[in-house]
Amino acid sequence: MERVVIVGGGVSGLALAFWLQRLASEAGRPLRVTVLEAEETPGGKMRTEREGPYRVEWGPNGFLDSKVHAVRLVEALGMGSQVLQASLRSRTRYITRHGRPVPVPESPLAFLRSPLISVSGKIRLLGEPFAPPAPPNRDETVAEFVRRRIGPEALAWLIDPMVSGVFAGDPEALSLAAVFPRMVELERDHGGLFRALWHLGREKRRSRRNPAAGGMGQPTGVLTSFREGSQSLVETLAGSLAPGTLICGARVQQVHRSLGGSVVEFRDAQGSIRWLPADRVVLACPSYEAARMIRREMSDLAMLLDQIPYAPISVVGTAFEARALQGSPRGFGVLHPRVEGRGSLGTLYDSLVFENRAPEGQVLLRTMVGGARDPVGAMLPDEALLDRVLRDLREVLGVRGDPVRVWIFRHDRGIPQYLRGHPGLLRQVDLRVARWPGLHLCSNAYRGIALGDCCREAETLARQVVPSDPGPRDPPA
């Protein structure tokens, strides 16, 4: 019987275990899968604080329903009745300009009228079809690409807040090809973004059918979660695995190479060191942990994995009486561009996006602090952190009074940063991984930081290990 050991029981490791067992059982192939998770409960970054009527997310608040691998996983798990889609009330997104939240324009006309960008900035943006082509053989940063194609103002007021809100990252440092591979494709295939939009009109028409999805300034797809929060996904995944598959409290120390495979050395919940032989080992943990585990066997691979930094981020949940927000803008949330010099990255209106996140008559907000450009901010003591958050809520959103309840969740190494050179780094990583028979990497450190990416990578690897019919692919974002 082939033995697969998965190190890490976050959504990547659990989804991989689920698909491996599902595919192996369909193919009638004997496969023993073990997931070793360091913590007492599985799920990694996906955790929901369920406190009375509150549902407060530690990390992700959902996935886009345009991500077919995430949707297929949810369907395969039979979770349809638990699914919750973002409410139409939360459609509008805001960006702060001169201390005030300004709606992100959703149509060309709204864009022309929007105060978000000056007239000269709009003229520069509309000159996109005449932008110089991409420099050959250069992994451009997000900022370089945006400045070249749509100008510095669009970078400062549109792209910068989006990049820090989603990736907790610095657009001057992140690799365009790694974080927005679709942009590279569109420019390459169509010669520019406006031309690409023109050609992709058919997709636009399709998204118009669903009023909650797509449109200018909107992501493709509807944000989707679960009634009891995103943790439901990892709970259902863990519950679906064959008995004995998941071992919690098992911290992997090292992975050793052995004849034809590997041996995984871990400390169990009782503190004893144990060894588990495996034909395949999948490191579904953060890259810095993977590096530590294989350093003795393959120091060059460990050095490469160490080059993927993580940005710290703190999530501050605040519940207010609804009257505290009377007159303040309603929507999905607000993001602060760096040039605004605010103390936080932005705030999500969680209880407007998803019903049942807060009791009747209250509003639940979640504010992010820190990221790659403000690591010190993420580490502030609780009181100073809350001060920063409340200042932004009061000054930008006009929130009055004090919160009735506060939660602080800290991610010291929260979101992996795909820096310039990341695609080349991955090529080097792949070459070395291929020299270790049966070794695989599968987490959000490599080919997409989001939940949907984890689902895609997990399913793809499972289908590689247990080949069957390939499933449909994600449509272009």
Ligand X SMILES: Cc1cc2nc3c(=O)[nH]c(=O)nc-3n(C[C@H](O)[C@H](O)[C@H](O)COP(=O)(O)OP(=O)(O)OC[C@H]3O[C@@H](n4cnc5c(N)ncnc54)[C@H](O)[C@@H]3O)c2cc1C
User: Would you tell me which residues interact with ligand X (CB under 6 A)?
Assistant: 7-13, 36-39, 44-46, 59-63, 251-252, 284-286, 289, 313, 315, 411, 414-415, 443-444, 449-452, 454
What is the smallest separation between the CB atom of 202 and ligand X, expressed in angstroms? 26
For 271: left if phi > 0, alpha if psi spans -120 to 50, otherwise beta; the answer is left
Identity of the residue, 8 or 331, whose beta carbon is nearer to ligand X in the bound complex = 8
Residues 6+ apart with CB under 8 A from 29: 2, 466
Identity of the residue, 253 or 468, whose beta carbon is nearer to ligand X in the bound complex = 253
Identity of the residue, 196 or 445, whose beta carbon is nearer to ligand X in the bound complex = 445
Identity of the residue, 199 or 296, whose beta carbon is nearer to ligand X in the bound complex = 296
- d(CA 447, CA 12) in angstroms, rounded, equals 12
Identity of the residue, 126 or 379, whose beta carbon is nearer to ligand X in the bound complex = 379
The torsion angles phi and psi of 168, rounded to 5 degrees, stand at 50, 35
Identity of the residue, 301 or 315, whose beta carbon is nearer to ligand X in the bound complex = 315
Identity of the residue, 37 or 187, whose beta carbon is nearer to ligand X in the bound complex = 37
What is the smallest separation between the CB atom of 301 and ligand X, expressed in angstroms? 16
The torsion angles phi and psi of 251, rounded to 5 degrees, stand at -95, 115
Which pairs with CB-CB distance under 8 Å and at least 24 residues apart come from 353-358? 353/61, 353/86, 353/87, 353/90, 353/223, 354/55, 354/61, 354/62, 354/84, 354/86, 354/87, 354/225, 355/84, 355/87, 356/53, 356/55, 356/84, 356/227, 357/54, 357/55, 357/56, 358/53, 358/54, 358/319
What is the smallest separation between the CB atom of 123 and ligand X, expressed in angstroms? 34
Question: Exposed, middle or buried: residue 113 (CB in 10 Å: 0-12, 13-18, 19+)?
Answer: exposed
Question: Exposed, middle or buried: residue 108 (CB in 10 Å: 0-12, 13-18, 19+)?
Answer: exposed
- d(CA 400, CA 467) in angstroms, rounded, equals 57
What is the smallest separation between the CB atom of 67 and ligand X, expressed in angstroms? 8
What is the smallest separation between the CB atom of 467 and ligand X, expressed in angstroms? 23
Identity of the residue, 97 or 411, whose beta carbon is nearer to ligand X in the bound complex = 411
What is the smallest separation between the CB atom of 245 and ligand X, expressed in angstroms? 14
What is the smallest separation between the CB atom of 200 and ligand X, expressed in angstroms? 23
Angle 90-220-339 from CA coordinates, rounded to 5°: 65
Write b or e for each residue in 36-57: b if 16 or more Cβ atoms lie within 10 A of its Cβ, otherwise e. bbbeeebbbbbbbeeeeebbbb
What is the smallest separation between the CB atom of 153 and ligand X, expressed in angstroms? 27
Identity of the residue, 179 or 415, whose beta carbon is nearer to ligand X in the bound complex = 415
What is the smallest separation between the CB atom of 193 and ligand X, expressed in angstroms? 24
- What number of other Cβ atoms are within 10 A of residue 279's Cβ? 17
